[in-house]
Amino acid sequence: MPEAPLSAIRSLPSWLLGRAAARGRALVAEALAVEGLKMWHHVVLSAVRDLAPVAQADLGRSVGLDPKDLVGILNDLQLAGVAVREPDPNDRRKNAVSLTEEGRRLLRRCEQAAREANDVLLAPLSAAERDHLTDMLIRISGTEG
């Protein structure tokens, strides 16, 4: 009996991780779209919350975004009234970014939506399996610490 097409590829952990990641991103993107956000908006909002007030250049480096792309995202967030750019108190030549109160509320809703999307992704797993999978993913992704 012949093997199924691409069975060698489809059995690779890298292939399976990529498929799971794509499904997870799609679920989270769908959940964030309800709030009018894209994934990078959510990432930037979360980083601003954690680092604020943060110089715009430092923010871009912390999330790995090209400065031009970051400017577009910050423009969107500022237009929506969820983030503000003001002169950096430590260096008035730079912009510092922080969240508005509405930005904090939006981020809480987005974090809840992302958690719910991940619950859908991981629904076939028990709580112990979820924890174990997360621990293993941290180990192989190089994001420990």
Question: What pLDDT digit, counting tens, does each position of 50-102 carry?
Answer: 998 999 889 999 999 999 999 999 999 999 999 999 988 778 888 899 999 99
Number of other residues whose CB lies within 10 A of the CB of residue 52: 15
* Band (110; pLDDT cuts 50, 70, 90): very high
CA nearest neighbour of 110 among 99, 125, 122, 124: 99
Number of other residues whose CB lies within 10 A of the CB of residue 41: 22
Q: pTM of the full predicted structure? A: 0.86
By the 8 A CB rule, do 95 and 56 touch?
yes
Percent of the chain with pLDDT over 70: 97
β-bridge partners, 95: 87
CA nearest neighbour of 56 among 67, 43, 41, 42: 67
Does residue 145 surpass a pLDDT of 70?
no
Does residue 125 surpass a pLDDT of 80?
yes
Question: What pLDDT digit, counting tens, does each position of 4-50 carry?
Answer: 788 889 889 999 999 999 999 999 999 999 999 999 999 999 999 99
Q: What is the pLDDT of residue 92?
A: 80
By the 8 A CB rule, do 28 and 39 touch?
yes
Higher pLDDT, 142 or 128: 128
Q: What is the DSSP string of 10-46?
A: HTSHHHHHHHHHHHHHHHHHHHHHTTT--HHHHHHHH
Domains of the chain in start order, with CATH, are 15-141 (1.10.10.10)
Alpha-carbon span 106 to 101, nearest angstrom? 9
Backbone angles phi, psi at 5, to 5 degrees: -55, 135
Place of tokens 């690779």: 12
Place of tokens 């794509």: 22
